[in-house]
Amino acid sequence: MTPTTDHAVVSWVPVCRYDDLEVERGVAALVEGTQVAVFRLADGTVRAVDHHDPFSGANVIARGIVGSRGDVPTVASPMYKHVFDLRTGACLDDPSTALRVYPVRVSGGVVAVRAAAGTG
Amino acid sequence: MNPAHPATRSHLVVVGGGMVAHRLVDALLQRQGADASWQVTVLAEEPRAPYDRMALTSYFSGRDPDDLQLGDPALWSDPRVTLHRGDPVTAIDRVATTVSTASGREHSYDALVLATGSSAFVPPVDGRDLPGCFVYRTIDDVAALRAYVEELRDRPVARGRRGGETALAGAVVGGGLLGLEAAGALRALGVDSHVVEFAPRLMPLQVDEGGGEGLRRLVQKLGVHVHTSTATARLHAGPDGRVRRMDFADGGRLDVRVVVFAAGVRPRDELARACGLPVGERGGVVVDDTCRTEDPKVWAVGEVACIGGRTLGLVAPGYSMAEVVADRLLGGTATFPGADLSTKLKLLGVDVASFGDAAGETAGALPVVYADPVAGVYKKLVLSDDARTLLGGLLVGDASAYAALRPLLGRPLGGDPAAWLLPEGVAGGPSGDLPDDAAVCSCNNVSAGTVRGAVRGAVAAGGGCDLAAVKAGTKAGTSCGSCLPLVKKLMTAELVSAGVGVSRALCEHFDISRAELFEVARVTGVRTFSELVARHGRGRGCDICKPVVASVLASLGAGHVLDGEQATLQDTNDHVLANIQKDGTYSVVPRIPGGEVTPAGLIAIGAVAVEFGLYTKITGAQRIDLLGARLEQLPEIWRRLVDAGFESGHAYGKAVRTVKSCVGSTWCRYGVQDSVGLAVALELRYRGLRAPHKLKLGVSGCARECAEARSKDVGVIATDKGWNVYVGGNGGFSPRHARLLAEDLDTDTLVRTIDRFLIYYVRTADRLQRTAAWLEEIEGGLEHVRAVVLADSLGIAGDLDAAMEAHVAGYADEWRDALEDPVKLRRFTTFVNAPGTPDPDLVPPARHVGETTVRHDGGDPDGAVLHTRVALEVVPR
Ligand code: SRM
Ligand SMILES: Cc1cc2nc3c(=O)[nH]c(=O)nc-3n(C[C@H](O)[C@H](O)[C@H](O)COP(=O)(O)OP(=O)(O)OC[C@H]3O[C@@H](n4cnc5c(N)ncnc54)[C@H](O)[C@@H]3O)c2cc1C
Ligand code: SF4
Ligand code: FES
């Protein structure tokens, strides 16, 4: 584990203020060239996944409807309504496909995202 | 593709890849399961997998040939099946047990099934081979016919000698089922079509004299010319060598540019004849009631089989034969149950159904007839001599009673037969007490008991049960579909009696239906999703229930669709007040009420398109779509449009879309009322009304119906005395014609009637249920709705009226409101951390036509205000 090197290479990019995020409605952010969809959930947590929808090829995930399936917090792509797990990025309608998830940090009222996709 | 153990399997060869061949292979595979004993080879003459020949005509409405494919295409990649397309069988050697094909291949068989169908019969008329003469049997026939007509249409000479006045004329030889289909197809191609029938009436095989007369009126009303008792003598070529004139035996003649022969079919029994198998007197391979020929290894099914001394030209008996052979090949003992020659057809939009002894040939049979020559309705029931048992029937012009009547064949009708014949007389239907052995689906031979069993099975297994499951499990309703209303009724009754009830749950978050949710919100006054889901549901919602709640709240007048929490409920279209496109950009459709637009308005729209680089297209609903707008461009586009006097057209919402109109009495020499004026008034009255699904209206200025009002949810047609109003029409996936709700209304009564109809629909329909489906579903159907809106049978008319008044008074343009609210405007950025930056991945698609060189300078913005907005603003009553 070399966390320090990691931080030096891919840094946390501030994207907006926490208060700017509407509950259960996403925004898109450009994080070092990558399009990331950022969501604030009803329980206050913030999640970030790919903005790119693998099914339609369009950059639209942030514009989907946020909700839940069982206990899983979800977003449905606005294009063909595929539903994704916001914690893991997995597509619940097609297990062979997943969105990348990005680490999110909220500090000092600012939301920051790290561009290197993590495992959630 | 190699079978696992080819040596242990017998080889079945099927000649012909038509509808019945498909059913045979499907049935055999399903029945034999995994431990397959048969390897199947299908040798098809046509270059494609089996398709739905009955739906051939829909190919004219622009369907892709692939849409006609039958069943699950996976059947043809099953390792136990091989399909050779485009390779007809040319000979059968019964001694060597082989068949050979045109490409020179040879296949040996353990069993051989002939499923070669029929070919079109072309009567021996001189000139029948001229270019321009067609038959109507295969996709290729239809494609050739279409290409020919389109080519003629594009050549100026085809438009007739008097300067393009004359429409292209075409004739169909044969006024039976196929002839009328073909005439409809020609008409759809813009051809002025004539049907020439030798017999004294249309559909001589199916209908009696009275029915034929009703049919003639209906068909003529649709603009198809009918010539009965007329024999075609010869066809003449024009100077270009193509067909140009048709002469009749009685000396009459017709100038025609295209001729379709639909004078019957002949079984394709040529292979059987050549290998010495017996054929029937009028053709067809002779088989016994197990579908076997005199050669124990050779079978025949479908239209080519001569069973019980005759060939059968419908798909249902063919399917029964396929099931019999599948059963026999696996050692079963099935026999052909006899043909049910019931048919229900929709020819040129006219319903015709005949079942049982429609002609009344049974000794002592009593016909009971209802005829309305004006409406073109003719209905006849044939009863036994004691007037109790139903022997058959014929329905022309209104076949709504067919699904319920057919299973009662041979059974007591119960009650007064007249009740079945009067218009709308069968709203309830008798499904509840239908005996288990009554056939419900004649295409697939499924009884009421089988349907009930499937429902009970699904309930016992603990799973849910819906129509799709019943269809998949029993095959009922999977062919012509005419039995579906009945299947659904049986299913519902069974579910209710099993104590399960039909699940009306919206989704996993709400156990109640949309209509119930609407009532809950209306009565409790709860106006937020969070509270509704906490009190009446669970979880955080989803892309199904959130937009439903958003729509309900909007209908209840809970403010702008982007106010507060409501914004998070909206699908992206409603969230950004525009329609999402495949690349993530949006389209913008300004309202153009009634299709009326000023030149200045057109220029203003053009100027916006030029400024923002948008693609422009005239939509199918009389307005203009501006496509390719990026999220961050939307507010500025609206600002320009709003300044020019436009407003949101709600193309994005489940809401009132447009009121389409024709030019009407202002300009048109036939118009009897001002259709544009009414359309504009209606559109301005109902604009912004949210609903369970989109709502479209139309107004035509006379019965010629150029606004296609009867294909709308609400259609208004002008009469000399006022307006006729029709409801429950739509285009789209299953087109329906709207049905008459009320006649000759004055404008005030008309508006009040539509007000009530719309609000009643908004309150009680299911999610994504258009008015047609709602009218089918709601208890009592159209009759009930008519009673509610015209006679206030539920005592809620005042409430409905008040709801519409509140809507009209509360209307505000959603674009303008968004432009005036900085909080709402914040949503229109592509990237929260780079507001001016567009999505770098966007590449606009190319146009199909070049840019014109004419440029306008934008014009005077004041001049761009729509005339209609000023002159015809609707004042709430
Ligand atoms: C733009 C337009 C096509 C065109 O270029 O002509 C269009 C475009 C779409 N139609 Fe349509 N329809 C358009 C006229 C029609 C018409 C013709 C008409 O209205 O006279 C019909 C058949 C009439 C009818 O609705 O009964 C029509 C029947 C449908 C249907 C099938 C509805 C049904 O009941 O079966 C859908 C699917 C749905 O709504 O579920 C649909 C859905 C759609 C969607 C929303 C599909 C989607 O989700 O992307 C398309 C939106 C694209 C966009 O951004 O505008 N569109 N669509 C037309 C817009 C008209 C307008 O000015 O608002
Ligand atoms: C426009 C139209 C509308 C219709 N509407 C209805 C309706 O509403 N209700 C209804 O019940 N019926 C309807 N029918 C009739 C129905 O389509 C037929 O009854 C049904 O298709 C018969 O199926 P089949 O498999 O016996 O023959 P087909 O579907 O005709 O299939 C036979 C196939 O065998 C092929 N073939 C022939 N000879 C050879 C050979 N030597 N080698 C290889 N292949 C060969 C042919 O090319 C053809 O593809 C309609 C027919 C048409 C044309
Ligand atoms: S939905 Fe309408 S506009 Fe879109 S592709 Fe289909 S027909 Fe065309
Ligand atoms: S009767 Fe044709 S599908 Fe059931």
Q: Distance from CA of residue B508 to its chain's centroid?
A: 31
The pLDDT tens digits of the residues spanning B68-79 come to: 888 888 888 888
User: Would you call A16 and B541 a contact, using CB atoms and an 8 Å cutoff?
Assistant: no
Say yes or no: CB of residue B345 within 6 Å of ligand 4.
no
Look at residue B866 and tell me whether its pLDDT is greater than 60: no
User: Residue B730 corresponds to which tokens in the numbers above?
Assistant: 């739509």
Choose the weakest-confidence range: B220-229, B394-403, B679-688: B394-403
CB B543 to CB A76 under 8 A?
A: yes
CB-nearest partner of A42 from B508, B540, B576: B540
pLDDT at B638 exceeding the cut of 90: yes
CB under 6 Å to ligand 2: residues? Answer: B 15-21, 43-46, 53-54, 56-57, 88-89, 115-118, 136-137, 178, 181, 268, 271, 302-303, 313-316, 318, 343, 345
Q: How many interchain CB pairs under 8 A, A with B? A: 94
Residues of A in contact with B587 (CB under 8 A): none
How many Cβ atoms from other residues are within 10 Å of residue B435's Cβ?
11
Other CB atoms within 10 A of residue B169 CB: 18
Q: What percent of chain B has pLDDT over 70?
A: 90
Residues 6+ positions from B766 with CB-CB distance below 8 Å: B504, B513, B514, B515, B692, B773, B774, B777
Digit-coded pLDDT (tens) for B508-554: 899 888 988 998 898 888 899 999 999 989 999 999 999 999 999 99
Q: pLDDT tens digits for B52-63? A: 898 887 776 666
DSSP code of residue B847: P
Q: Which of B539, B583, B837 sits opposite A68 (nearest CB)?
A: B539
Instruction: In whole angstroms, give the CA distance from residue B376 to residue A99.
Output: 59
Is the per-residue pLDDT at B358 higher than 90?
no
- What gap in Å lies between CA B91 and CA B105, rounded to an integer? 11
Give the separation between CA B469 and CA B488, rounded to whole angstroms: 11
Cα–Cα distance for residue pair B755/B761, rounded to 1 Å = 10
Cβ(A17)–Cβ(A3) under 8 Å?
no
Q: Which of B23, B409, B442 to mutate to test the pocket of ligand 4 (most atoms within 8 A of CB)?
A: B442
pLDDT given for residue B862 in this prediction: 39
Minimal CA separation from B161 to chain A, in Å: 52
C-alpha B552: how far from its chain's center? Answer: 29
Q: Which of B113, B119, B269, B303 to mutate to test the pocket of ligand 2 (most atoms within 8 A of CB)?
A: B303
CB B568 within 8 A of CB A42: no
The residues pairing with B126 across neighbouring beta strands, listed in sequence order, are: B234
- pLDDT at A95 (0 to 100): 84
> B337 pLDDT band (50/70/90 cuts)?
confident
Q: What pLDDT shows up at residue B430?
A: 46
Residue type, B105: R
pLDDT given for residue B427 in this prediction: 37
- In this prediction, residue B348 has a pLDDT band, given cuts at 50, 70 and 90, of low
Please indicate whether, in this complex, the C-beta atoms of B509 and A35 are within 8 angstroms of each other: no
Ligand sitting nearest the alpha carbon of B694: 1
pLDDT at residue number A13: 93
**Element housing B316 (H / E):** helix B315-329
Q: Which of residues 72-111 of B touch A (CB under 8 A)?
A: none
Of the candidates A25, A67, A70, the beta carbon closest to that of B567 is on A25
Percentage with pLDDT > 90 across chain B: 56
User: Of B185, B224, B146, B247, whose CA–CA distance to B58 is shortest?
Assistant: B185
| H or E element that contains B811 | none
Q: Token pair 């009754």 is at which residue?
A: B493
Closest C-alpha residue for ligand 1 atom 17: B620
The number of beta carbons lying within 10 Å of the beta carbon of residue B246 is: 26
Q: How far is the CA of B498 from the centre of ligand 3 (A)?
A: 42
Q: Which pLDDT band, with edges at 50, 70 and 90, does B371 fall under?
A: confident
Q: Which ligand is nearest to the CA of B113?
A: 2
At B164, is the pLDDT very low, low, confident or very high (cuts 50, 70, 90)?
very low
- CA–CA separation, A27 and A48 (whole Å): 10
Q: Do A42 and B833 touch (CB under 8 A)?
A: no
pLDDT band at B7 (very low <50, low <70, confident <90, very high): low
The domain locations on chain A are 12-116
What mean pLDDT, rounded, does chain B reach? 86
How far is Cα B726 from Cα B740, in angstroms, rounded to an integer?
4
What band does B209 get if pLDDT is binned at 50, 70 and 90? Answer: confident
The one-character DSSP state at B205 is T
Query: Mind listing the pLDDT tens digit for each residue in B424-464?
Result: 544 344 444 678 888 888 777 888 899 999 988 888 877 66
CA distance A29 to A111: 11
Tell me: pLDDT of A6 over 90: no
Helix (H) or strand (E) holding B490: helix B484-497
Q: pTM higher than 0.80, yes or no?
A: no
Confidence of residue B195 (pLDDT cuts 50, 70, 90): very high
Taking only the tens place, the pLDDT of each residue in B272-312 is: 999 999 999 999 999 999 999 999 999 999 999 999 999 99
DSSP letter (8 states) at residue B765: P
First to last CA, chain A: 17
> Quick one: closest CA in A to B832, which residue?
A29
CA B331, B332, B338: angle at the middle one, nearest 5?
Answer: 140
Q: For residue B444, which atom of ligand 4 is closest to its CA?
A: 4
**Are B654 and B551 spatial neighbours (Cβ–Cβ below 8 Å)?**
yes
Question: Is A12-116 assigned to CATH 3.30.9.10?
Answer: no
Average pLDDT over residues B835-862: 64
